[in-house]
Structures are given as structure tokens and as C-alpha cells.
Amino acid sequence: MTNSPSDPAIDAQRFATLVHEGLVIPPSFRWRVLRLARGLAEVELEDDPAFVRPGGTISGPTLFTLADLTLWAAVLSVIGPQPLAVTAEMAIHFLRRPKPDALVARCEVLKAGRRLVHGDVRIVSRGEPERVVCHATGSYAVPDDGPAVRSSAP
């Protein structure tokens, strides 16, 4: 049994374990990986009253956390399990005020370099795939002692 070039370098179960061990997500954050392929991740976040801010919309930090988590999943799908990979920078645009509902974030890796892995994240409300509510682009820094990125990376 061999791996296909599009197999992710980490599976959803292993990723969830890394996140839970890492304690980086608030307990109220009920999320799950919908899809994980090499260079592509989709994560769903359940609705929660704790996320809602004045005006009945989901808070900026909640959207950032979801974007960062989804970017991390997509990055690890290329470089493999790397608890020490950290966000280098992110530019996040809040385009629409999402109503209180589940969110779906989708990240595509646009460049997997030896030092930085860069991706594009788009967040929509569940059931409204055409209306991007949040658009984030950013990079994770790959630790020096990390495994080399394989040549099949994007």
C-alpha cells in the first residue's frame, strides 16, 4: 500500500489530536475537519452564543481563530505533523457580518516553501457558499528541524 501524491501528510484524526494536546483553542470552540487533502483543508465551526457580539454577528477573534486553525490544517497537510509550526503573519478581511450560524472555512495552499507555507482562507456561513464573510491570507513558518517539504507539494 502506497501513498498517492495527493494524500495529505497528516490525517484529520491526527490533526485533531495535535490541536487538543496543544490547547490552542477555547473549549467552546466545537470544530471538525470536513475535508483534508494535500494542500487543502475544510473546517466547520459550530454555532455558539459565546461567539456573538453586539449587532448579532460573530466576533472577529472567532473568525481569526477559525482561519488560523484551517490554515494550520492545510499547512500540516503538506509538511506533516509539526507542533512547532507557528503563524508568521496573516492579513484578514472581514467582508460581511456573518449571522449566528455554523461557519465553514476552506484553505488552499498557494506556496509551500522550505521556510514558509502560504495559504488563502475563505469563510462562509453554512448553506451560503457564494457569500464569503471573511477572507484571510497568511503564512506559517516551518521550523528549521522540520521534515523537508516533499517535491509533490504545491
Contact residues toward its own copies (CB under 8 A) are: 21-26, 28, 49-50, 52-55, 57, 59-61, 64-65, 68, 83-84, 86-97, 110-111, 113, 115-116, 118, 120, 122, 132, 135, 137, 139, 141
For its own copies, which is the closer residue by CB, 7 or 108? 108
For its own copies, which is the closer residue by CB, 21 or 127? 21
Distance in Å, CB of 1 to its own copies, minimum: 28
Distance in Å, CB of 41 to its own copies, minimum: 16
**67 touches 123 (CB < 8 A):** yes
For its own copies, which is the closer residue by CB, 68 or 79? 68
Distance in Å, CB of 55 to its own copies, minimum: 5
For its own copies, which is the closer residue by CB, 1 or 21? 21
For its own copies, which is the closer residue by CB, 34 or 88? 88
β-pairing, 40-45 vs 52-53, is: unpaired
Apex 130 CA angle, 52 and 46, nearest 5: 35
19 vs 108: CA distance, rounded Å: 19
Distance in Å, CB of 70 to its own copies, minimum: 12
Distance in Å, CB of 92 to its own copies, minimum: 6
**88 touches 138 (CB < 8 A):** yes
